[in-house]
Amino acid sequence: MAFARGEGLVGGEPVADGSPLARQTVALGWRGDAFCSATIVAEDLVVTAAHCVRNSHDIEVLFETDTVSEKNPRRRPIVGYELAPGYDPDDEHPERRDPPPRNRADFALVRFTGGLPAGFNPAQLVPADHVFHDADEIELAGYGGTFDHTTPNDPVGILRAGHARLRDARFSPTELQIDASEESSSHNAGGDSGGPALVRIGGEPYLFGVCNWGRVGEFTVFALVRPRLAWMSEAAKRLRQHHGHADCSTVLR
């Protein structure tokens, strides 16, 4: 099955307020209820999965590590988004196809207004010369539950992070796979739709991917951010022009 709205991070632990991950990872929500994750890439922009925002209306960016307990979460209205070229909104069940589909372009740039709350900042993008290898350890974050939902303390809307290993670092030119099999149970985070995949360099998290879809107990596919940089720059210009220009920083580079 795909990682749909409301499903989430396998094996994740709650993220502390004020940590680097908490300052750059946000939830997408409707009336305060989180349904997907996203990552800040500029003062007015986040990246997420295209399937999280297509056909969505009146959604917001939520700036809390716990959107469940917080009765008045810090929020910003979303004023527009662009889906990456090549994304097919009718391709709703990639997990049913064999071999797995590749280069699905399940990637979106989303603009919000009101600026970043104090303490939040754009993510750092992994350096262009960083080389990924199969079995590399990475970090995932997101607001989903832990998939089994066996306790009442496992709601969607709490930011969690976990570790995983790469299964196929060359899955496609625009994607990679992480291992979500039982054999990798000591590194068993599975990802949350729209949430980030990161690598630690010098102890700091660097963004490299956005969670797309997966097969439970097998793998998760992440869209790579860096191949989309040129498109992101142009999409940001269009969003800012169409929805009112803001004196904001450039997108990730």
- Quote the pLDDT of residue 253: 52
**Amino acid (1-letter code) at residue 100:** P
* Average pLDDT, integer, range 169-194: 79
Q: How far apart, in whole angstroms, are the C-alpha atoms of residue 106 and residue 55?
A: 14
pLDDT one-digit tens code per residue, 133-152 = 999 999 999 997 554 444 45
pLDDT one-digit tens code per residue, 75-89 = 999 999 999 999 999
> CB-based contacts of 181: which residues, under 8 Å, 6+ apart?
167, 217, 218, 219
- Quote the pLDDT of residue 2: 32
Does residue 12 surpass a pLDDT of 80?
no
- Quote the pLDDT of residue 244: 66
Does residue 37 surpass a pLDDT of 80?
yes
Res. 171 pLDDT band, cuts 50 70 90: very high
- Quote the pLDDT of residue 172: 98
Does residue 58 surpass a pLDDT of 90?
no
* Average pLDDT, integer, range 217-246: 91
Res. 57 pLDDT band, cuts 50 70 90: confident
Q: How far apart, in whole angstroms, are the C-alpha atoms of residue 188 and residue 190?
A: 6
Does residue 68 surpass a pLDDT of 90?
no
With vertex at residue 147, the alpha carbon angle to CA 142 and CA 160, rounded to the nearest 5 degrees, is 25
- Quote the pLDDT of residue 42: 98
- Please state which of the ranges 60-69, 126-135, 223-232 shows the lowest mean pLDDT: 60-69
Q: How far apart, in whole angstroms, are the C-alpha atoms of residue 161 and residue 137?
A: 13
Mind listing the domains of the chain with CATH numbers? 13-242 (2.40.10.10)
Q: Which two tokens stand for residue 166?
A: 């790469």
Name the H helices within the chain.
50-53, 229-242
What dihedral do alpha carbons 36, 145, 125, 227 form, nearest 10°? -60
DSSP result, 101-141: P------EEEEESS-PPTT--PPEEPPTT----TT-EEEEE
Does residue 200 surpass a pLDDT of 60?
yes
The average confidence (pLDDT) of the chain is 87
What's the pTM? 0.88
Strands (E), the chain: 13-14, 25-30, 33-42, 45-48, 60-62, 75-83, 108-112, 124-125, 137-142, 160-172, 175-179, 196-201, 204-215, 219-224
